[in-house]
Amino acid sequence: MNILRDYRLIPEEEGEDYIRLLVPENFNHEDVEEIRFLTGKDVRLKVVPEEEFVKELQRRLSEEKIEVEGEEVSAEEGVDLLLAQDDSPVVSLVNSLLIKASTVNASDIHFEPYEDEAVVRIRMDGVLHDITKVPMSTYQNVVSRIKVMANLNVAERRVPQDGRIRVRIGNRDLDIRVSVVPTVFGERVVLRLLDRTGAMLTLEEIGLSEEDKEKVRRLAKKPYGIVLVTGPTGAGKTTTLYAMILYVKDPKKNIITIEDPVEYQIKGVSQIQVNPKVGLTFATGLRSVLRQDPDIIMVGEIRDTETADIAVHAALTGHLVLSTLHTNDAPSAVTRLADMGIEPFLIASSLEGVIAQRLVRKVCPGCREPYEPSREELRELGLSGDFKGVFYRGTGCEECLGTGYRGRIGIFEVLELDDDLKKLITQTQDANDIRKLAKEKGFRTMLEDGIEKVKRGITTSSEVLSVIKS
């Protein structure tokens, strides 16, 4: 009998003639009597608030070893996975994986079939980690369970399928995007986990230095113009745009967003999901939004010349346009717009600022330790050999799955365009020239921001160098 799994009560201590259980305030008395009868022991209870109990239950369940057996399954809707009775081994396996992923704040779960077994991996802080292996004799039942939960066709195994699952784990509501594609050895499944109860980050929380935070606040408060956030996929650009919108959100302002997909709902903001199948693209959506009398428009991404043209037109006619671009650094955004065919004088007139960013993993607070950096490490960061101070690294613990890292933070460079920089843009769109003049005016690069975070023990030098020089 597994009291934790079978009854969702937490055994704290067991003696020869007694067992002590941690229980919530609304515990089921019949379950306690049943445990007393089955164990033949005196059951002592420690009653704690519901929230505290749920947190401890999730931690215990996530630490339990994930075991794999085989069996066909059916679906249950709207049940909190922490309280669900795992009658079937396959249901138990899928629930355990979702609980574990939620506990370590994973963004994705991968089910990858190979010739003799399937590997299950979770992506934590941008890096994939192996969690368990599933024998191929059981794997198809696992896929079937996920398909049933996502309302997909269980019998169809030849074509890709996409679906959604909504589950509750403790006090978190998860919206899970499901992607199934056929491979040589079976169907490969990826689950993208989105926390619908998670609060959006503010400008104070994303990792901006005080100086950069002031610059971003000034940019967000501009009455009109374009503000771009740049970086590769998965660099947290949308999170920064949301943080800016939360900062300027006001009942007196009409804010409309066009996104692909809409990741978080913001109260008081009209959000449009692009749908190319019916002709609703960023460009067509932006053109329609301009007729809705907006003050601030957020465009998920400027992907083509048409969208860029309309965004510039919107900025020049008195709207603040917030959007993203794929460039390596802030000055390169000007070059990219010029490559899209936007006239230099229009870029200079409309562009107000560019925020470039990357995400770096934070040193795990549970196993953080100081060390003295080597001369080689200092040289790679561009620091002089006579640097006095310590850096920090994680040694690896249970909390961080042995990685030494837990959570992520942004490193930034914020380019505000003043009259001198705008004048230069009309003459040249070369990123190096723009960077040179900006640095003379106090512009701080992403690498410099990253080094500052290394000195403060927030991240490591290897993390900063790997995201900037990759």
* pLDDT tens by residue, 253-301: 999 999 988 878 888 999 999 998 899 999 999 999 999 999 999 999 9
For residue 70, the model assigns a pLDDT of 45
Q: Output DSSP code: residue 161.
A: E
Separation CA 382–CA 385 (nearest Å)? 9
Specify whether the CB–CB gap between 138 and 68 falls below 8 A. yes
Sites in the chain below the pLDDT cut of 50: 69-77
What is the maximal distance between C-alpha atoms in the chain? 87
* pLDDT score, position 75: 45
Contact 410, 206 (CB under 8 A): yes
Measured CA to CA, the distance from residue 269 to residue 184 in angstroms comes to 45
Radius of gyration of the chain from its Cα atoms, rounded to whole angstroms: 26
pLDDT of residue 82: 64
Residue 76: its pLDDT value, please? 47
Q: Assess contact for 342 and 333: CB atoms under 8 A.
A: no
Q: What pLDDT score does 74 carry?
A: 43
pLDDT (0 to 100) of residue 73: 40
pLDDT computed for residue 245 by the predictor? 95
- Measured over the CA atoms of residue 53, residue 56, residue 62 and residue 63, the dihedral's sign is negative
Q: Over the range 205-243, which residues count as b (16 or more CB within 10 Å of their CB) and which as e?
A: ebbbbeebbebbeebbebebbbbbbbbeeebbbbbbbbb
